[in-house]
Amino acid sequence: MDTPTGTRRLSSPFDLRPNAPRLVLKFSEVSLPAHSLDTPLEDHFGPIMKGHEVGGTAVDAVRASPQTGVDEWREYVAGGGAALVAITITFPINKTMFRQQVHNISPAEAVRQLRVEGGMHLYRGLLSPLLMKISTQSIMFGSYFQYSRLIQEHTHLTPTYAKLMGAVLAGVSEACMMPLERVQVLMQDSKFHTQFRNTPHALYSIRVYGLREYYRGLSAILLRNCPGNVIFFGSRERIKAALPDTWTTGTYASNISDFFGGAFLGALISTMFYPVNVTKTHLQLQVGGPFLQFRAVFKMLLEERGLRGMFRGVHINYTRSFLSWGIINVSYENLSHLLRHALAEIMSWTRLTIPFSTAPASLDLSPILQGIRGLPIIHTESYVCRLPPGHRFQMRKFRGVFQSLVQDRVIDAKTQVIEPLRASVELAGLAHDTQYVERFYAGETSREEQRRTGFEWSHGLASRVRYETGGTVLSTRISLERGLSCSTGGGTHHAGPDYGSGYCLINDIAVAAMNLIRNDPNFKVLIIDLDVHQGDGTALIFENEPRVFTLSVHAEKNFPFRKQKSDLDLGLEDGLQDNEYLQVLQEHIPVVLDQFRPDFVLYDAGVDVHEADALGRLKLSDNGLWRRDMFILKECMKRGVPTSTVIGGGYDKDLEVLSRRHSIIHRAAIKIHSQMQ
Ligand SMILES: [Zn+2]
């Protein structure tokens, strides 16, 4: 049998930094009774209480601060701005097309008519389409992203269905601006030239017919907007995804592909819905009188003109839409991008909108902590997002851990839970390349980059990652006050300076450590990473940072196959069991703690070292995990080092089993915490 020395290999020699003065702690140093390490895990699992639901209100009651604003205003502004650019260029074409549609005449005849009427009449009615296009396009883009995000965050729909619903709802919302489109139809027809002086006059005049008059033709508009949006937004992303990365990266190439992508879709959709639009125009050319059924008018026009007649003017319409939607799409992308950067700039000038989790280290947490009794648990339902069915990553485990703790009455959801906020670009940018963070938040990472992370990007995923990062940062802030706190998420240690990898998008541990050291040149952080996989991203981020010591204990033959250099790597042989594993920890952890003398410990309690784990190569039992976590926490606490824990990796098809396995760290922390009082 191998001796413990033979079962591990040191990848790097000890490299311990000179001592620094010890942090003065607010909680008393603790010494735990020796037997606590040997207490079997089962003693700390209460009976499972079924049927006890965990509501959101208890968590909301201790929410740290109000929810910060969402980011979709950019999409609204970019959508409106894109419309402004497009309409300025395409207005004359639009007018010619309209004449043809109404009077069933050739393009040449339409141009001749407009020329006879003179220049003033050509630009008659510009205000109305301008306002209409700006407002509807703004609502279309903005509300689509907002609805999609809200649906993904608050329901269990897949991203695809959430986007589909978002597109339909955006189509309905656009219809709010219908009175402007309604008046535009009246203003463009010569029949009404004498009746209405200008757009406001027309809007004012038709009030005598009641509110319903403004919404004449609503059914046609919904019939056009909703399916149109579904096709547009659904295909827009697919077209982008289908193009090779070289076509969508770089300003020149991406502008061209955005133009043609938008142009193609706009032309296709407007052609498909052309007969609907013709019918809508006819419905709206009437002022006052009975409200005709869409279906009846459509049938009448079809009989009168025939199918080909219904498409008269479609050529010029096709050209107009091609140009218009090409311009809209390319302007939208550029404006949205510009605003995103402008926002990041403004955020760095003023601190008005920076959420709690990014606030300077001096922020007073005491009002929040006053209501917290026992070990602070950092948890939010927003750690969870929807993944495609059958995805290997057990997304619901974050909720599962929390529910397991509440059900077993290990924690009190009313007095022990603090909800984090989303990490800003600035905060995540402490450990990552800011451009990478911005691209990830905005869903602009390439397919290749996404493939490496194991997740397809979605609004829900980006949101989840931001909450998780905010959670770990919040936990460190709380541990500085209270000595110990635990998040129900975190441990995304494969994410590197400018990339995501292996289910990790933003390295929450690295962000939290950077946040701890950023205002104090003497502050030292030890990262104890016991996930079965090497903390390669963390190692790379802190490669040249002497104030952060990265310690990774992992299965040497496991992912990542190209390892990075931590300050101390303990690469273990496959199949290691409880006692051998614990012996490795007992040999090294106290030495590192005593020699590096950290002011803070971040502990990644990954459970993929478990014998039943789908991705692990070690053979720890539940009890082994309990002893491991008790050992680490005890070593940190007895030295008075504030500690935060994250749950790290864990892979098991059985959600409940996995959630309980992950909850061992919280149970151990509560045990230790109770002995500290
Ligand atoms: Zn892992």
User: Residue 123: which pLDDT band, with cuts at 50, 70 and 90?
Assistant: low
Mean of the pLDDT values across residues 378-406?
89
> What was the pLDDT predicted at 125?
63
Q: Delimit the domains of the chain by residue range.
A: 4-69+355-676, 73-343
Over residues 636-650, the pLDDT tens digits come to 999 999 999 999 999
CA of 560 to the centre of ligand 1 (A): 9
Percent of the chain with pLDDT over 70: 82
Of residues 125 and 183, more confidence is placed in: 183
pLDDT at 153 over 50: yes
- On the question of a cis peptide bond just before residue 546, with omega within 30 degrees of 0, the verdict is no
352, amino acid identity: L
CA of 571 to the centre of ligand 1 (A): 14
Contacts 24+ apart (CB under 8 A), 559-565: 559/502, 559/533, 559/615, 560/494, 560/501, 560/502, 560/533, 560/534, 560/536, 562/536, 563/11, 563/534, 563/536, 564/534, 564/536, 564/537, 564/539, 564/540, 565/11, 565/12, 565/539
Report the distance separating Cα 639 and Cα 598, nearest Å: 10
CA of 672 to the centre of ligand 1 (A): 25
What the block records as the tokens of 469 is: 């990062």
How many CA atoms lie less than 13 Å away from 91 in the CB half-sphere? 21
Q: Tell how far CA 645 is from the center of its chain.
A: 23
Looking at domain 4-69+355-676, what is its CATH homologous superfamily? Histone deacetylase domain (3.40.800.20)
pLDDT at 12 over 60: no
CA of 559 to the centre of ligand 1 (A): 8
Report the distance separating Cα 235 and Cα 233, nearest Å: 6
CA of 607 to the centre of ligand 1 (A): 8
SS3 of residue 552 by DSSP: strand
ipTM of the modeled complex: 0.99
pLDDT at 385 over 60: yes
Over residues 592-615, the pLDDT tens digits come to 999 999 999 999 999 999 999 999
DSSP characters over 605-650: ---TTBTT-SS---BB-HHHHHHHHHHHHHHHHHTT--EEEE----
CA of 570 to the centre of ligand 1 (A): 15
Looking at domain 73-343, what is its CATH homologous superfamily? Mitochondrial carrier domain (1.50.40.10)
CA of 533 to the centre of ligand 1 (A): 4
Report the distance separating Cα 419 and Cα 59, nearest Å: 7
CA of 590 to the centre of ligand 1 (A): 23
pLDDT at 115 over 90: no
Report the distance separating Cα 172 and Cα 226, nearest Å: 7
User: Residue 519: which pLDDT band, with cuts at 50, 70 and 90?
Assistant: confident
User: Residue 120: which pLDDT band, with cuts at 50, 70 and 90?
Assistant: low
How long, in residues, is the chain? 677
Report the distance separating Cα 126 and Cα 73, nearest Å: 26
CA of 534 to the centre of ligand 1 (A): 7
The closest alpha carbon to 152, from 441, 389, 471, 464, belongs to 464
> What was the pLDDT predicted at 365?
74
Lowest mean pLDDT among 157-166, 425-434, 563-572: 157-166
427, amino acid identity: L
CA of 500 to the centre of ligand 1 (A): 14
Q: How far is CA 568 from CA 431, 529, 584, in A?
A: 20, 10, 13
Q: Which helix (H) or strand (E) holds 549?
A: strand 548-555
* Residue 378 DSSP label: E
pLDDT at 92 over 60: yes
Over residues 560-573, the pLDDT tens digits come to 989 999 999 999 99
Percent of the chain with pLDDT over 90: 50
CA of 241 to the centre of ligand 1 (A): 29
DSSP characters over 576-587: -BHHHHHHHHHH
222 burial type by CB count under 10 A (0-12 exposed, 13-18 middle, 19+ buried): middle
CA of 4 to the centre of ligand 1 (A): 23
Q: How far is CA 42 from CA 420, 527, 647, 661, in A?
A: 31, 28, 20, 12
Active site residues: 494
> What was the pLDDT predicted at 412?
87
SS3 of residue 311 by DSSP: coil
CA of 311 to the centre of ligand 1 (A): 59
Over residues 28-64, the pLDDT tens digits come to 333 333 333 344 443 333 222 222 222 222 222 223 3
Report the distance separating Cα 465 and Cα 471, nearest Å: 10
CA of 531 to the centre of ligand 1 (A): 5
| Cα dihedral: 492, 497, 500, 505 (round 10) | 50
Report the distance separating Cα 263 and Cα 90, nearest Å: 13
DSSP characters over 190-214: GGGTTT-SSHHHHHHHGGGG-HHHH
